[in-house]
Amino acid sequence: MEHIDRAVPSAGNRGRALGGFYFFFFMALGAVYPMLPLFLTEQGLSGKEFSLIITLGMLVMVVFQPIWGMICDRFKAERLILVLTLLLAGGISVIYPFAGSFALFLALFLGMAMFESSGIPIVDSMALGHVQSHGGDYGSLRLWGAIGFAVASWIAGLIAEKAGLQVIFWIYGLSFAVCVLLVRGLPKASVSTVKVDLRSGLRTLVRLPKFLLFCFATFIVFGVIQANNSFYGILYTSIGGSVAGVGLSFLIAAGSEAPVMRVAQRFINRFGLVTILVFTALISALRWIWYGVDPSMELIWALLLVQGVSVGLYLPAAAQYVREIAPEEVQVTAMGIYSAVGNGLGSMAGTLAGGIVLDLYGIYTTYLFFGIVSMVGVGLMALLRLMPDRLAERRV
């Protein structure tokens, strides 16, 4: 079903296409998601209404990320699916500012979330296969996503301040259009000779204890990391920071991930995947605890750089770990489930739980709660070391 690649690009060009895809894909996300609550509030929606839109969007991503992965595993049509879904997501974004009502804003956002959710599991699988076949490391490719998000979260705010918040959707759509142009240069996912049955593939993953435990740990640890994006502005302004400072904070925090991702593989090779996963989870937990003890402005700024270590190391290690423990014939499905659990379900649960704690006890207790929950995730990550790797034994 792949008809998009008549000329075969070199391995170097594939690597550049992957880096460019990550940059523009996350530029789209960085333009919209930090500013979406502001846009919807400007359109007259209440806090409850825009929170419901964002939460349901996360739920749609949870549902559709593994579905796109299963479709790819079944039909081997990764690039075609990317082209169609990104064009549809970008097209919806262009008409989004004209929706005019809560029901339409909700329906259109759910459409964007559904089609956008194809991108990460598919391209992560391509990137991991590429570096396995041609050398290099995943972190050096994925860092371009961190750069794209950091640049967009800052630049989109500056442009929106002068041209209006509706411009963020044009940046989103144009960024996805560039991604579509880059799809032809992306590497093919490795084609398995095994016939894939979707239900049996899911049964295979469900029977892997390490995969289930890792997904649960990711749900906790990365869910809280994602929830921080919703609560950091409240924390920062509560200690006297400005709204402009919030945008600059996201630029610094997300930007710090890129250089760490560039050298992440060296640390993974030296210390091992599980050690890195435990370490990054612990760093995140300590960061939230420090946020919860009424920190000074100086400490807030200093701890922004911790995100480079916690996220910049965690993402490459987690993606590589999923690929190692999942059978070859369902690796895209496994990536989709992992991404949906951490980025979708975990983020949704962390945001909802954090909102309840915030209303009851305030922002500092919210971050103490995040820190305690993340420490549970640290313990779960550590348990991975004690579980037998039956998949590795089967492959020998």
Lowest average pLDDT, out of 271-280, 281-290, 324-333, goes to: 324-333
Average pLDDT, the chain: 81
Residue-level pLDDT at 104: 95
Q: Which of 27-41, 234-248, 292-306 has the highest mean pLDDT?
A: 292-306
Q: Which of 166, 187, 208 finishes a domain?
A: 187
List pLDDT tens digits, range 279-321.
999 999 999 999 998 788 888 888 888 888 888 899 889 988 9
Over the stretch 120-179, which tens digit does the pLDDT of each residue have? Answer: 878 887 887 787 777 677 777 877 887 898 888 788 777 877 788 888 899 999 999 999
On whether the CB atoms of residues 119 and 82 are closer than 8 A, the answer is yes
Q: Are residues 228 and 181 in the same domain?
A: no
Give, in degrees to the nearest 5, the angle at Cα 214 between 204 and 308.
135
Buried b (16+ CB within 10 A) or exposed e, 225-238: bbbbbbbbbebbee
SS3 394: helix
| pLDDT, tens only, 59-117 | 888 788 778 877 877 777 788 889 999 999 999 999 999 998 999 999 999 999 999 98
Domain boundary among 170, 187, 204: 187
Domain count, the chain: 2
Query: What is the full DSSP assignment across 231-299?
Result: HHHHHHHHTT--HHHHHHHHHHHHHTHHHHHHHHHHHHHHH-HHHHHHHHHHHHHHHHHHHTT---HHH
- Percent of the chain at pLDDT above 90? 27
Q: Both 107 and 248 in a single domain?
A: no
Q: What is the reported pTM?
A: 0.69
Structural domain span for residue 80: 1-187
Whichever domain contains 287, its CATH number is: 1.20.1250.20
Which of 150, 166, 187 is the last residue in one of the domains?
187
Asked if 136 and 217 sit in the same domain, the reply is no
Residue with the two structure tokens 């740990």: 217
Contact 90, 176 (CB under 8 A): yes
Looking at per-residue pLDDT, the higher value among 223 and 342 belongs to 223
- Tell me if 81 sits within 8 A of 98, measured CB to CB: no
Residue 26 near residue 86, CB atoms below 8 Å:
no
